A and B are shown apart, each in its own frame.
Chain A
Amino acid sequence: MADRLAKTTRASRRGESVGRRRADDLGLRRALSDRLLPLLVAAMIFLASLAVGGLAGSAALARHWRYGAAAEITVQLPDTANIPTAPFAAIPGIARAERLDDAQLANLLRPWLGADPKTLSLRLPVVFDIHLTATANQAAVLHAISQTLPAALIEQNGAWLARLAALGRSLEACAALALGLVMIIAAALMVIATRAGLAARRDAIFIVHALGATDATIAWRFASRMAVLAGAGGALGALAAIPVLLALARLAAPFSASQVVLSDAASVVAALPTLVWAALPALALAACGIGFITANLTVRVWLARLP
């Protein structure tokens, strides 16, 4: 051990032709190891990145469901004889109206009427799928349809849409909760690591304290070391999360009616929401900041017991 220490010190001396390198007064490079702690922080930030991805994904799905489903109306007209050629053309707010053909209608009614409804001698209604424009006032559109076609039966998607919206909000809340929990656990982990470092360097701290070191000086030594380790771990965790997030984005693409193709750098960037790309470096920085603040506070609390 002494030989290793000697070699380390001599090695640090060799590159000091213009001046001595500032020494690690408290020996924190060994007390706060650069092995286990960054890996644990990396795992935390990896999970936090997935939580952010989940947050962004659930928000996108909720938005898609909200605006996609809410922008569609189904209209039934019972009497085919009196249907105008383009019944919805004059109504503002309607992007397009598609009349279901016989095959589509039969397919829609198959659970109730069997494979071939025509054999039942029933008069089937004419059904339109109406897609609203993004800026349409739904209530005004419904009113206009009622005025233009008094016999129309209008089916809105309100009931299940509300359930979908609640589900989306719940998913968002769960993702945010997971993110918060992961960050709290990361902070607790850093407090434990700092306290272990304090225990390991107790004698050295007493010595520098007796030599006139202020609480701020000692706390800064720990906090800066912890910030470096946590920042490195955070960056590692965020980088490791990128391929997983891209794979999840590909899996989730059909649910949000989008497509993920990873052919070049631009398509990779476009595959994830801007929120996620911004959150990844932010999480690494947050790990660094949490490391600095928790270590600083932990050391100051510990030092407050000394005279």
Chain B
Amino acid sequence: MRPNPPSLESPLPQTATSVRLQNCTLCYQPAATPVLAPVLDRISFAIPEGGFRWLLGPSGAGKTSLLRLLTLAERPTSGHLTLLGTAIETARRRDLPPLRRRIGMVYQDFRLLPHLSAFDNVALPLRLAGRPEAALAADVSEMLRWVGLARRADALPAELSGGEQQRTAIARAVITRPALLLADEPTGNLDDAQAERLMQLLAELNRLGTTVIVASHNAALVARHPARALVLEAGRLIADG
């Protein structure tokens, strides 16, 4: 009998909820249209601290919109969203930036700042958090070493390959040791070897206690790294398991 592949779920004790949605609906108001189009429809789920979830579903199912909710790029139109212990619907606007600093996000298109070197892109969250310049160089260098970019610290994004840009984006997302890490199609621009290496990085973070949610289309990758999955279809959550 073939042994089961190792699960991505963290072995750490899960005592608190990292993400909780209760009947969350998100509507965008298209221009010149009074009709609200729901892109997420009464979504409910919870992820404990240190949990790992795949976020699956066809294009247009609402994966990116859900990630936008979880990165606080949007607020739910209705329902309750609790992130890292903070109820978002009642949070004041000025309370959100400190919360955003505890959430790491890896975008499919990387979203690196083109005029900054890899070092400065990775250092950016620390600078925004007010870390002194003298105190951040060691951490940034260590993080670049961790993702295998120690020799590319001074390179601009335009000088990096797709995989190097993706690893820079990951380094930037995790440099602050976020409590919640989100990734939107993080392997979309990577070959299989790079995708596998990325998954190992995410699994290592998860083992260190970070809650991880990864949106992906890559069925083979998901099969190689089994974990609980949230499955969306037409804006509704059709499976959580």
A208 part of interface (Cβ distance < 8 Å)? yes
Complex formed: what's the CA distance from A10 to B74 in Å? Answer: 38
Interface window among B3-11, B89-97, B229-237: B89-97
Residue contact B100 to A5, C-beta cutoff 8 Å:
no
Stretch at the interface among B34-42, B57-65, B126-134: B126-134
Q: Please classify the interface of chain B as helix (H, G, I), strand (E, B), loop, or mixed, using the class held by over half of its residues.
A: helix
Q: How many residues of chain A are within 8 Å of chain B by beta carbon?
A: 27
When chains A and B are docked, how far (Å) is the Cα of A208 from the Cα of B127?
10
Within 8 A of A (CB), among B91-131: 93-94, 96-101, 105, 111, 113-117, 119-120, 123-125, 127-129
B71 contacts A210, CB within 8 Å?
Answer: yes
- Find B105's partner among A5, A6, A22, A210 (CB 8 Å cutoff): A210
Chain B residues whose CB sits within 8 angstroms of the CB of A19 once the complex forms? 133-134, 137
Q: Give the shortest distance, in Å, between A187 (CB) and chain B (any CB).
A: 27
Question: What separation, in Å, do the CA atoms of A255 and B158 have in the docked complex?
Answer: 67
Q: Scoring B residues 132 to 164 as 1 if CB is less than 8 Å from chain A, else 0, what string do you get?
A: 011001000000000000000010101100000
Cβ of B71 and Cβ of A307 under 8 Å apart? no
Complex-state Cα separation, A24 to B71, whole angstroms: 24
Given A2-B158, A203-B111, A212-B129, 10 new contacts (CB under 8 A): A2-B156, A5-B114, A6-B159, A9-B115, A9-B154, A20-B120, A24-B115, A25-B113, A210-B71, A211-B172
Find out whether the CB atom of A25 lies under 8 angstroms from the CB atom of B73.
no
| B222 in the interface (beta carbon within 8 A) | no
The answer to the question of A214 belonging to the interface, with a C-beta cut-off of 8 Å to chain B, is yes
**A26 nearest CB neighbor, chain B only:** B113
Docked complex Cα distance between A2 and B156 (Å) = 8
Known: A9-B154, A213-B97, A307-B93. A30 touches B133 (CB 8 A): no
Chain B hits for A214, CB < 8 A: 94, 97
Are A212 and B125 in contact, with the CB atoms below 8 A?
yes
Q: Which residue of B lies closest to A6 (CB)?
A: B156
A9 to B113, CA, bound (A): 13
Residues of B that sit less than 8 Å from A by CB: 71-75, 93-94, 96-101, 105, 111, 113-117, 119-120, 123-125, 127-129, 133-134, 137, 154, 156, 158-159, 172
User: Does A25 contact B124, Cβ atoms closer than 8 Å?
Assistant: yes
Chain B positions within 8 Å of A13 at CB level: 117, 154
With a cutoff of 8 Å between Cβ atoms, the chain A residues found around residue B159 in the complex are: 2, 6
Given contacts A20-B119, A23-B120, A217-B128, contact A307 B96 (CB under 8 A): yes
Instruction: Indicate whether A207 reaches chain B with its CB closer than 8 angstroms.
Output: yes
Distance between B165 CB and nearest chain A CB, rounded to angstroms = 13
A27 located at the interface, meaning its Cβ lies under 8 Å from any Cβ of chain B in the complex: yes
B204 to chain A, nearest CB (A): 22
Q: Are the C-beta atoms of B115 and A30 separated by less than 8 Å?
A: yes
Expressed in whole angstroms, the Cα–Cα distance for A203 and B127 within the complex equals 18
Q: A207 to chain B: closest CB distance in Å?
A: 5
What residues of chain A lie closer than 8 Å to B117, measured between beta carbons?
A: 9, 13, 23
Residues of B within 8 A of A307 (CB): 72-75, 93, 96
Is there contact, CB below 8 Å, between B127 and A212? no
| A204 adjacent to chain B (CB < 8 Å) | yes
Which of B74, B101, B114, B156 is within 8 Å of A211, CB to CB? B101
Contact B74–A212 (Cβ < 8 Å): no
Task: Give per-residue flags for A3-34: 1 if the beta carbon is below 8 A from chain B beta carbons, else 0.
Answer: 00110011001000001101111110010000
A211 engages B137 (CB within 8 Å): no
Q: Which 10 A-B pairs have the closest CB atoms?
A: A212-B101, A212-B100, A23-B120, A27-B115, A2-B158, A214-B97, A213-B128, A212-B97, A211-B125, A307-B75
Q: What is the CB-to-nearest-CB distance from B11 to chain A, in angstroms, rounded to a whole number?
A: 29
Cβ A23 vs Cβ B105 within 8 A: no
Q: Check B156 against A9 for contact (C-beta < 8 Å).
A: yes
A208 touches B128 (CB 8 A): yes
- Most B CB atoms within 10 A — which of A5, A24, A27? A5
Choose from B127, B133, B137 the contact partner of A25 (Cβ within 8 Å).
B127
**Hey, which chain A residues are within 8 Å of B93, CB to CB?**
307
Q: Which residue of A lies closest to B119 (CB)?
A: A20
Determine how close the nearest CB of chain A comes to the CB of B76; give it in whole angstroms: 10
The interface residues of chain A lying within 8 Å CB-to-CB of B125 are 211-212
